[in-house]
Amino acid sequence: MFESDVLDVPQRALTGDLPEESRVGELVRDAHSRFAPVTHGTVADYIPVLAEADPDLFGLSLVEVDGTVHDAGDTVATFSIQSISKAFVLALVCDAIGHEEVHRIVGVNNTGLPFNSVIALELNDGSPMNPMVNAGAIATTALMPGDTAEEKWWAVREGLSRFAGRSLELDERVLRSESASNHRNQGISDLLTSYGRLQGRSEEMVDVYTRQCSLLVTADDLAIMGATLADGGLNPITREQVVSPEVCRDTLSVLAACGMYELSGEWLFEIGLPAKSGVSGGIVAVAPGKGALGAFSPPLDRAGNSVRGQRACSYLSRALGLNLFASRPRPAKEGDHDA
């Protein structure tokens, strides 16, 4: 997953602010030019319309918590948000019903199995285990405010639009294509129902979840949405308080543990940022207190993560000192005790 052209970048140990704006912009542009020539990966085709994506598209955006935007490449190209939506719907649900209820109903532990695993449900007495796998995401979507499926869908769309700072549109072609091929999700939803783990009618909740995944975003949108989580729920562009700081903390902890599915440990080890990917080629990675990265490039590796996107995230995490676990020794002060 991580190549030598990324691992050779010196690790900048930083626990404070980002470097000056000109340096951040320079590094974002450098990351884009460095990885744009990469041709590895395959565009997703299990949702037929996704196979039409241009493999040469590559957008990279970094939004700071003060609203400063640094971008390079195809950052206004639209694509369906797909599984990245799970992170922000989780935040909305935590804000609506609270930390304890989400923990009790959905869970927060990594399954160690693929995102669409049925076995994980059976092994855990029907518990979805976490909101980032499909079972947990469908169960989480079903917890959105609203007495009907349409009310829940409106709440999802309105909530994700508040994160992005603009009204997000539904891609009807993606919705039709995905609805025609989501038999596995329907089976997962039926299994959740059989265990008493799903609120609402199975087919309706799958439909809301499918619409949720079909919302159109850009790399800039993802960076703004991630920067909202990075700054205690305050959107850096609109200055609207979308969710509470406590909800951001809970959401980012789940992303760190489960956001990249069974490779979450490897991602955290190498990059050190809470993150979420989607099969359309998007990635959002969040540096709390600093900002967020939004990347878009359709070719994926075997785990379903954007090849260019993850390399750019790894490069910028190292070059900008974004890794949550990076630090530098504190300078010795007069009066410090000798070892």
Cβ distance 185 to 134 under 8 Å? yes
Of the residues 6, 106, 209, 290, only one is catalytic, namely: 209
Instruction: Give me 167's structure tokens.
Output: 């009204």
113 pLDDT band (50/70/90 cuts)? very low
CATH architecture of 4-81+216-320: 3-Layer(aba) Sandwich (3.40)
Predicted local distance difference test score (pLDDT) of residue 96: 92
The reported pLDDT for the residue numbered 309 is: 96
Query: What is d(CA 309, CA 291) in angstroms, rounded to the nearest whole number?
Result: 17
Torsion 77-316-212-207 (CA) sign: positive
Q: What residue ranges do the domains of the chain occupy?
A: 4-81+216-320, 83-213
Which one, of 267, 273, 264, 260, lies nearest residue 317 by Cα? 273
C-beta of residue 313 within 8 angstroms of C-beta of residue 275: yes
Range scoring the smallest mean pLDDT among 134-143, 184-193, 199-208: 184-193
Of the residues 28, 80, 261, 284, only one is catalytic, namely 261
Sign of CA dihedral 266, 270, 275, 278: negative
Per-residue pLDDT at 187 = 78
Using pLDDT thresholds of 50, 70 and 90, give the confidence band for residue 302. confident
Per-residue pLDDT reduced to its tens digit, 114-145: 455 455 454 444 455 567 777 888 888 988 99
Per residue in 148-167, pLDDT (tens digit) is 999 999 999 999 999 999 99
**Most confident residue range from 86-90, 180-184, 266-270:** 86-90
- Annotated binding residues: 83, 134, 178, 185, 209, 261, 279
Q: How far apart are CA 82 and CA 68, in angstroms?
A: 26
CA distance 66 to 296: 23
| pTM, entire model | 0.89
Q: Which of 6, 80, 86, 314 is catalytic?
A: 86
Q: Is the pLDDT of residue 15 over 70?
A: no
Q: How far apart are CA 232 and CA 248, in angstroms?
A: 6
Give the pLDDT band (50/70/90) at residue 282. Answer: very high
Instruction: Judge whether 83 counts as a catalytic residue.
Output: yes
Annotated binding site for substrate: 83, 134, 178, 185, 209, 261, 279
CATH of domain 83-213: 3.40.710.10
Per-residue pLDDT at 181:
82
9 is catalytic: no
152 catalytic per annotation = no
Name which of 13-27, 35-49, 113-127 the model is least confident about. Answer: 113-127
Q: How far is CA 268 from the centre of its chain?
A: 14
Cβ-proximal residues to 18 (8 Å cutoff; 6+ apart), any chain: 24, 64, 290, 291, 320
Ramachandran bin of 331, using left for φ above 0, alpha for ψ from -120 to 50, beta for the remaining angles: beta
Choosing from 6, 65, 69, 83, the catalytic residue is: 83
How high is the pLDDT of residue 313?
Answer: 96
Residue 305: partners with Cβ closer than 8 Å, 6 or more residues away: 1, 260, 263, 277, 283
- Decide if 4-81+216-320 and 83-213 have a common fold: yes
Once rounded to an integer, what is the mean pLDDT over residues 203-213? 92
